[in-house]
Amino acid sequence: MTANLCRYLTGRGYEVTPLYLGPPVPTRRIARYLLFGSPRWEEAWGRPALAVDHLAHLELLRYLIPALKVRGSLRGFDVYHVIRGANLAEALFAVNGHRFVDWVATTVADERRSQSGATSPGSAGRRMLASVNGCLEPLLQRQERWVLRRAAIVDGISGYVRRQLVEVTGLPPLRVGVLHLPVDTRVFAPGNRDGRRQTRYVLAVGRLDDPRKNLPLLIEAFARISPRNPEVELRLVGPLEDRTWLDARDRTLGIAHQVRYLGELSLPELVRQYQDAEAVVLSSRQEGFGMALVEAMACGTPVVSTRCGGPEEIVRDGITGFLTPVGDAGALAEAAERILSDRALRASMGRAAREDVCNRFAMEVIGAQVLRRYHEAYPELPE
């Protein structure tokens, strides 16, 4: 998404310089980093970018220390734009007194809520770090409130995130907007399904080891579909640190021969997987948006998602796909099976999905909204 936005802004006459966090600093080098660490120029998203290393393990300091490191490199820009998840990247600009536009995917509090009590396993190290950072949550929330209230414009990536931001910041609701994430509809586009497809499959795409994705629910739902659709596969795309539990669960449910884990794919191969899928399914407990749904719909593929926040604004229930209750494996299976069993429904939903994405989420549509934000925050900009 960042690369697409950079290209769009460049095409509108902006010279774009990305700023991002480089590799985390190893423990043995922390003292040297604090004393001598400095930002450096690298190639990213097809252009020169400013990178600064960080202390990844302690969220409270993840951006505060880099903010001090980049202070001298931030002078002279006309626009400062933050695009971030739960990590408080606004600190890079807020600490240095710059006016900035903020585009937020989730809040610290909602990130914590969505992961508490999760049943998906994770590594011992990840659980320990989550525990430590969880203890710091009150301080993180205060830091988040401080940086958000210093933004010239604050947008959530969905109405769901906007409501969280209003709650966190205490800002008047009219001060917090919604700016959806864009998709490149030239790259994510329908393909010739019938010309190459051999195996029918349902597809899931995302950070599979993130507890919010609720992968166990998806596996359970597919196990309910399997007896009546023995020729259909479930294909999983995305990072998954530990497959042991997944393989064991598949064997227990008798679906191991139908589940294929594809790992992380190149962009062309990901697009092809979207194009050829019967449906894309999202089983999450919480989503600020649901980018995989938008990408699938852009490829003309119907979707099924839980009502977990952002997807409720993406999916037109019964038109471009189906929405089901969070945590209900039976409803998820039933919705997916409706699409699997009805070719005409798949085709009509796919056409409607493509049209809807082009109208609401195409880069040109969202890019124009971004430019309006810039002119609101920086009235001195030339038209």
For residue range 15-65, list pLDDT tens digits in order.
Answer: 999 998 888 888 888 888 888 888 899 998 889 999 988 877 677 777 888
**pLDDT on residue 119:** 44
User: Confidence class of residue 344 from pLDDT cuts 50, 70 and 90?
Assistant: very high
Q: Smallest Cα–Cα separation from 347: which of 194, 221, 222, 185?
A: 194
Residues 206 and 169 placed together within one structural domain of the fold: no
Measured CA to CA, the distance from residue 44 to residue 49 in angstroms comes to 6
**pLDDT on residue 120:** 44
**pLDDT on residue 361:** 98
Q: Are 282 and 293 in contact (CB under 8 A)?
A: yes
Residues 350 and 370 placed together within one structural domain of the fold: no
Q: Are 107 and 87 in contact (CB under 8 A)?
A: no
Residues 171 and 291 placed together within one structural domain of the fold: no
Max Cα distance, the chain (Å): 64
3-state secondary structure of 23: strand
Measured CA to CA, the distance from residue 356 to residue 43 in angstroms comes to 35
Residues 370 and 350 placed together within one structural domain of the fold: no
Q: Are 374 and 381 in contact (CB under 8 A)?
A: yes
**pLDDT on residue 125:** 54
Domain count, the chain: 2
The structure tokens listed for 351 are 């056409």
CB-based burial, 68-90: b 16+ in 10 Å, e otherwise: ebbeebbeeeebbbbbbebbbbb
For residue range 57-77, list pLDDT tens digits in order.
Answer: 677 777 888 888 888 899 899
- Count the Cβ atoms, other than its own, within 10 Å of residue 270: 21
CB-based burial, 255-264: b 16+ in 10 Å, e otherwise: beebbeeeee
Domain membership flag for residue 202: yes
Mean per-residue pLDDT, 338-344: 97
Domain membership flag for residue 31: yes
Residues 171 and 199 placed together within one structural domain of the fold: no
Residues 42 and 17 placed together within one structural domain of the fold: yes
**pLDDT on residue 129:** 57
Sheet holding 279-282, edge to edge: 259-263, 232-237, 200-205, 279-282, 303-306, 321-324
For residue range 109-138, list pLDDT tens digits in order.
Answer: 787 766 654 444 455 555 565 566 667 778
Domain membership flag for residue 382: no
Which residue shows structure tokens 């990213």? 44
Residues 166 and 214 placed together within one structural domain of the fold: no
For residue range 199-231, list pLDDT tens digits in order.
Answer: 999 999 999 988 889 999 999 999 999 999 999
Beta strand spans in the chain (E): 19-24, 40-44, 47-54, 81-84, 101-104, 153-156, 176-178, 200-205, 232-237, 259-263, 279-282, 303-306, 321-324
| pLDDT over threshold 70, residue 272 | yes
Q: Smallest Cα–Cα separation from 18: which of 48, 40, 52?
A: 48
Residues 171 and 208 placed together within one structural domain of the fold: no
Please state, rounded to an integer, the average pLDDT across all residues of the chain: 89
Q: Are 207 and 284 in contact (CB under 8 A)?
A: no
| Alpha-helix runs per DSSP H in 173-262 | 193-196, 215-225, 244-253
Over pLDDT 90: what percentage of the chain?
63
Q: Indicate which CATH number applies to the domain containing 111.
A: 3.40.50.2000
Q: Smallest Cα–Cα separation from 100: which of 149, 54, 157?
A: 149
Measured CA to CA, the distance from residue 291 to residue 46 in angstroms comes to 22
Q: Smallest Cα–Cα separation from 232: which of 289, 187, 278?
A: 278
For residue range 305-318, list pLDDT tens digits in order.
Answer: 999 999 999 999 99
Residues 325 and 176 placed together within one structural domain of the fold: no
Residues 371 and 336 placed together within one structural domain of the fold: no
Backbone angles phi, psi at 233, to 5 degrees: -100, 160
Domain membership flag for residue 188: no
Domain membership flag for residue 294: yes
For residue range 162-195, list pLDDT tens digits in order.
Answer: 999 998 888 889 999 999 999 999 999 999 866 6
Domain membership flag for residue 235: yes
Residues 334 and 370 placed together within one structural domain of the fold: no
Residues 83 and 122 placed together within one structural domain of the fold: yes
Domain membership flag for residue 89: yes
For residue range 148-167, list pLDDT tens digits in order.
Answer: 999 999 999 999 999 999 98
The angle subtended at Cα 334 by Cα 255 and Cα 216, nearest 5°, is 45
| pLDDT over threshold 90, residue 246 | no
Secondary structure tally for the chain: helices H, strands E: 17, 13
Boundaries of domain holding 297: 193-360
Domain membership flag for residue 58: yes
